[in-house]
Each structure stands twice: as C-alpha cells, then as structure tokens.
Amino acid sequence: MAREVKKRTVGMSPNSRRARLQEQITAINEQLILSSMHEHDLREQAEDLAAQLRAEISEREQAEEALRGTVEELASALKAKDEFLAMLSHELRTPLTPVLMTAASLEIETALPSEVRDQLGMMRRNIELEARLIDDLLDLTRISNGKLQIKSVRADIHELLEQTAEIVRDDDRNKQVRIVLGFEAEQHYVMGDPARLQQLFWNIIKNAHKFSPASGIVTVGTRNASAGKIIISVADTGIGIRAEELPHIFNAFEQGEIASQKHFGGLGLGLAISRAIAKIHGGEISAESDGVGRGATFSITFAVVGTPEAVDYTHSTSSTPGRAFRLLVVEDHEATLGVLRHLLTRCGHHLTAVSSVREGLAAAAVGTFDAVISDLGLPDGTGFDLIREIHREHAWPGIALSGYGMDEDVRRSHEAGFRVHLVKPIDFKQLQRALEDLVTNVG
C-alpha cells in the first residue's frame, strides 16, 4: 500500500504530496470508521439472532417437556382405564358363573316341565349376552392397545357361517326372522382364527337379525368374485342406514340415530370389533344401504387358501366319554363352589372342594389328583401361588378360573403353571371339554 502511494506522489511538490497523503489518510480513516460501524452492526445482529435462537430453544424445550407430561398423563389415564375395565369385568363375571352353570344344567333336565326349561333357556341366553358385552369392552381395549391377537389355522368359512347362523336362530324365540344361506364360493377356506372369525360373523348376522322386522329375512351368501378371494355378504330387510351415517358405523359406540333407540339395545361396539378382526386377518369389511327402511348389506372379503386334504379318522383314538377324574377344586365364591361340586359330582368325578390356598395345599399333601381347578383370587393368596407350590411336588395339570380375561392375565396363568385359563362366567360344557383334553393329553 505504501509503495502504491509513493508511486502516485512521485514528481509532486512537497506541499502537494502532503495534501495528497492527507486526503488518502482521511479516506482510509473513513473506511476504517465505516468498517468499525459495520462490524458493530454485524455484532449486534449476531447477538440478536443468538438471543432469538436461545429463546426458541427454550420454548421448544418447554414445549417438549409439556408434551412429555401430557403423554405420561395420557398413558397413566389409559392404564387406569384398562385396570378399571379389568376390575369391572371381574366383578361382573364372578356372580354370573353359578347362575349360568345352574341354568344350563337344569335346561336339559327332561324331568322339568317344558315351560320351565324354556325359562331357564331364556336365563342362560341373557347371561351369555351379558358376558359377551363384557368381552366386547375388553376386546375394544385390546384393539386400542394393538393387542388383539389371533391363532391362525385353516378355517372353513361355510362351516363357521352355518354354526353362527344356527346360534342366532337358536336365540330367536318370538321374532321368527328367517336366515337364508346361499353358498356359491367353491374356494371357502382361509387362514384365520375360527373363534375370532365366528365372533365377526355373529356380530354381523346378529345385527342384521336385530334390525330386521318380525318375519324379516337375513340372507347370508358367499362367492369367489376374483381369484384368491372370498366375499361373504349379509343382507337384511331391516331399518337401513342413513347415507350420512354409513362412513361412521364402524366407529366404536357409533350406532346411528335409529339403531341407537333404546328398544334395540347394545353398546355400539360390535361393528368396530368386527372391522378390527377383519383387518387383523388381512381382510376388508364394508356396508351399503339404500336408506332408511330399505335394509343393509355387509360384505367381508378374505384371501382364500387351498382345500385341506381329507383326514382319515377311522384309526384315531379319543378319551372315553364319561371318564371319572379325581379333582381338587379351589374356589372361595361359595355359590360357584357349590354349583361346581354339584355338577362335577353328578358327572361322576371325585371331588375335594376347598376355598383357600392353605386348604388346597393341605389337600394336595395327603391326596392324589388328576387335575386341579382353581380360582385365581383367593382369600389367603392367589391361584398362582397354589399351582406353583403344587408343582414343586406333583405334575397335576391345572385349570384356572378367573373373572380377568385380558391377554396379560392368560399369560400369567400359563407362566405360573396352569395349562388352561377359563374366563368367568364358566360354561360347564367348556369346563368338561377342557378336563377331558387336559387329563387325556397328560395321561
């Protein structure tokens, strides 16, 4: 820079050179001042930006903290709701067990007048309906938690539909709604959970039956509309569905304005559960209606699998029906214990019936049993404690009876050593089948 200035002032008089240099110095000073001011502005802008960034980070951290708090509160609320539903289920189920088993056993007593047996059948059906409503609440919890599970096997859709239609017909005592079956599908096997599929079909067919008028018709059909697919249709001649309600009918607690009227009953959970069951099987469900009073048609689509090869059962072995077992029964609900004692003894089984863990362990110490049937909630411990202690000395298979039916409850039962977990109210026929299978397989 100095060399450049020197060149510019060569040949100039001393005064001129001084003036020229002074001008240049002044220009340089002005540039330095401007540069300093610009640097100051940049520094202030940087500080402002840094302050804004710190504020934004602080706000984001506060928002994230608030969100974490909300998520924790929501998780706590959901857990509390699930625990409440499980407890409600237990409290509702337990007193239903002795009533259901008594009604079911007396219903088949030929010595009773037919009108009495009809009334007992009505009692049984209503108890089973209440139990199903409880199951729907628990299934809704499983669905919301993503825990609805299936055990897939090769299932015959036609067989399941026939069984379901027969169940619904059996419940129809006065209404006389006809259920017409028309199976056209040549491919009608799917991979799925038969119990869950039947639950889906029951919800749809029962709804069609419920919303049809006396002497109405429910038509259940199947067809293979495209390769590898089966479509199940359930059409009724009932109340129909408003166009504006169609997009919402598969939402939980959504029944529509007409369907929600008191005389129809129900919680509005069946279709939501049906959609979840269809989805978990890789299927689809939809509804159509031409409007109020013009009926509705529900369609369910699944992928099909090949027909299974015929199985020769001529050489298969099975347990001898009516075989008598030595049973240790532990139940603190007095009415349930009394009914179990009566029904199991009437079937020829030999019972030791007690009502606590202490009494159960005392009986196990002096007796020999083919199986243990135990409630899980006992006054001095749990059925888990009982079966663990028994299995220290004996390999007797166990059947757990419980008002708790969530997946976690079943898992805990199996981990403790129970082979079967039956949810109250207990169907006595189901208990009989479980005993036969359990003792025969162990034996």
- Show contacts of 240-244: CB within 8 Å, 24+ apart: 240/289, 240/290, 240/291, 240/292, 240/293, 240/294, 240/295, 240/296, 241/287, 241/289, 241/291, 241/292, 241/296, 242/289, 242/291, 242/292, 243/289, 243/291
Give the start-to-end residue ranges of the domains of the chain.
2-82, 155-303, 326-442
pLDDT of residue 418: 94
Domain 326-442 matching CATH 3.40.50.2300: the answer reads yes
> pLDDT tens track of the chain, all 443 residues?
545 545 555 556 666 766 766 777 777 776 767 666 666 666 676 677 777 777 878 888 888 888 888 777 777 776 776 666 667 666 777 788 888 888 887 887 878 888 888 888 778 777 776 777 777 767 777 776 676 777 788 999 999 999 888 878 876 666 678 899 999 999 999 998 887 888 899 989 998 998 888 888 999 999 998 779 999 999 998 888 888 888 888 887 665 554 444 444 445 688 888 898 899 899 999 999 988 888 899 999 999 998 876 544 343 334 344 578 999 999 998 888 888 998 899 889 999 999 999 999 999 999 999 999 999 989 999 999 999 999 999 999 999 998 877 777 888 999 999 999 988 888 788 888 888 888 776 55
Q: Where are the beta strands (DSSP E) in 210-325?
A: 217-223, 229-236, 284-288, 297-303
pLDDT of residue 315: 39
Going from the C-alpha of 359 to that of each of 330, 356, 443, the distances in angstroms are 8, 5, 26
| Closest alpha carbon to 334 in 120, 104, 95 | 95
Tokens of 73: 């509160």
Domain 155-303 matching CATH 2.60.40.1180: the answer reads no
**Which of helix, strand or coil describes residue 351?**
strand
pLDDT of residue 15: 67
Neighbours of 400 (CB within 10 A): 28
pLDDT of residue 194: 85
pLDDT of residue 261: 46
pLDDT of residue 184: 94
pLDDT of residue 80: 73
Cα–Cα distance for residue pair 388/384, rounded to 1 Å: 6
Cα–Cα distance for residue pair 387/346, rounded to 1 Å: 26
pLDDT of residue 273: 86
Whole-model pTM?
0.55
Neighbours of 226 (CB within 10 A): 9
